[in-house]
Amino acid sequence: MHGTRTSSEQAVNRRFSRLATVLVLGASAVLSVAGPVQAAPAKGLPADIPDYQAALDLVKSADVRNAVCRFLSVPVPQGDGAGTSQPIPDKADPCEGLPAFTVKDPLALNEITAGFIAGTALPIPSEVAKLSYLVAALNAPVNGRNATVMLAPTQGGGWHLAAVRDGDSDATYAGKATAGTLVFTEPQIRGWYQLKLTTVEPLNDQARQGLNGQTSVPLLDYQKLVKARYADKLPGSEYDTTGMSSGYGIAAQSVKTESASSSTPVLVAGSSAALVFAGGAFALRRRRRGTTH
């Protein structure tokens, strides 16, 4: 009888051991699916970024190049207030007088999902974040300044130019993803994280603060942290409907700054530095220099 019980216990232990192995391998497989390939390989295109060839063509286009030139040709406005605005010079050749530059291939910018924040989504890699934008930095600074092109998905498929932002931190962090890992941002604090299986690690100071100074936390613990921070501030909440939410949508903020029917490019001092395209208008906004590499 004793020998029978021992055999049964050993069988149960083996089953649990196999189950644990399956769960770990399953998490790895899910992470591979959830984490988009972050750069175009020498042969082929990223399988997990839809319409990637269209995005690649767009960042190499003359329209995007001209937008970057307009952004770089005007000094970043000083001051934190929305303040006054000034027209951006409308030159026939926006790139005249600027050194030559190229725009790198676009990378995936993944943001934490509302379901993950609310706790309605499981704490598994495929539910943590979603592809929100593509970002592409310049190959080198131009006159001491760098810039990042942001592409947003177009309804019905494809991508369109959403903004040209000051600096290259978004593309730098997005480029840290490797096979089997997922890099994502908590945009409310501009925190960047890397998910390895079910462990969340910070990539910048804001993320370290977001993890209360810890070097890593289990994914479930990270979900508890963001739920405590934002669950009562999601779209539709009282916090949101009363106008308290600061949000991350640069383009949406710019629509409030400039009429969507305007076609005159303007330079506006605000909380971020970006040449933003919304309804035919674009504006330059100043970002606080808070992000660390």
Domain ranges of the chain: 35-284
C-alpha 66/C-alpha 88 separation (Å) is 13
| Residue 223: how many other CB atoms lie within 10 Å | 23
Letter for the amino acid at 42? A
CA 24 to chain centre: 27
Half-sphere exposure of 127 (CA within 13 A, CB side): 17
Angle, CA 180 vertex, CA 176 and CA 184 arms, to 5°: 45
Half-sphere exposure of 123 (CA within 13 A, CB side): 16
C-alpha 290/C-alpha 272 separation (Å) is 11
What is the predicted pLDDT for the residue at 282?
Answer: 53
What is the predicted pLDDT for the residue at 79?
Answer: 59
| Residue 251: how many other CB atoms lie within 10 Å | 16
Query: For the chain, what is the HEC assignment?
Result: CHHHHHHHHHHHHHHHHHHHHHHHHHHHHHHHHHCCCCCCCCCCCCCCCCCHHHHHHHHCCHHHHHHHHHHHCCCCCCCCCCCCEEECCCCCCCCCCCCCCCECCCEEEEEECHHHHHCCCCCCHHHHEEEEEEEEEECCCECCECEEEEEEECCCCCEEEEEEEECCHHHHHHCCCCCCEEEEEECCCCEEEEEECCEEEECCHHHHHHCCCCCCEEHHHHHHHHHHHHHHHCCCCHHHHCCCCCCCCHHHHHHHHCCCCCCCCEEECCCCCEEEEECCEEEECCCCCCCCC
What is the predicted pLDDT for the residue at 215?
Answer: 97
Cβ-count burial 110-132 (b if 16+ within 10 Å, e if not): bbbbeebbeeebebbbbbbbbbb
Residue of 282, 286, 278, 243 lying closest to 266 (CA atoms): 282
What is the predicted pLDDT for the residue at 101?
Answer: 95
Q: Token pair 């400039």 is at which residue?
A: 258
Q: Token pair 């131009």 is at which residue?
A: 142
Q: Token pair 């462990």 is at which residue?
A: 199
pLDDT in tens, the chain (293 residues): 444 444 544 544 454 344 333 333 333 333 433 444 344 443 456 778 999 999 999 999 999 999 999 989 887 766 554 544 556 777 889 999 999 999 999 999 999 999 999 999 999 999 999 999 999 999 999 999 999 999 999 999 999 999 898 899 999 999 999 988 999 999 989 999 999 999 999 999 999 999 999 999 999 999 999 999 998 877 655 544 555 544 433 333 333 333 333 344 555 444 456 667 654 445 555 554 444 44
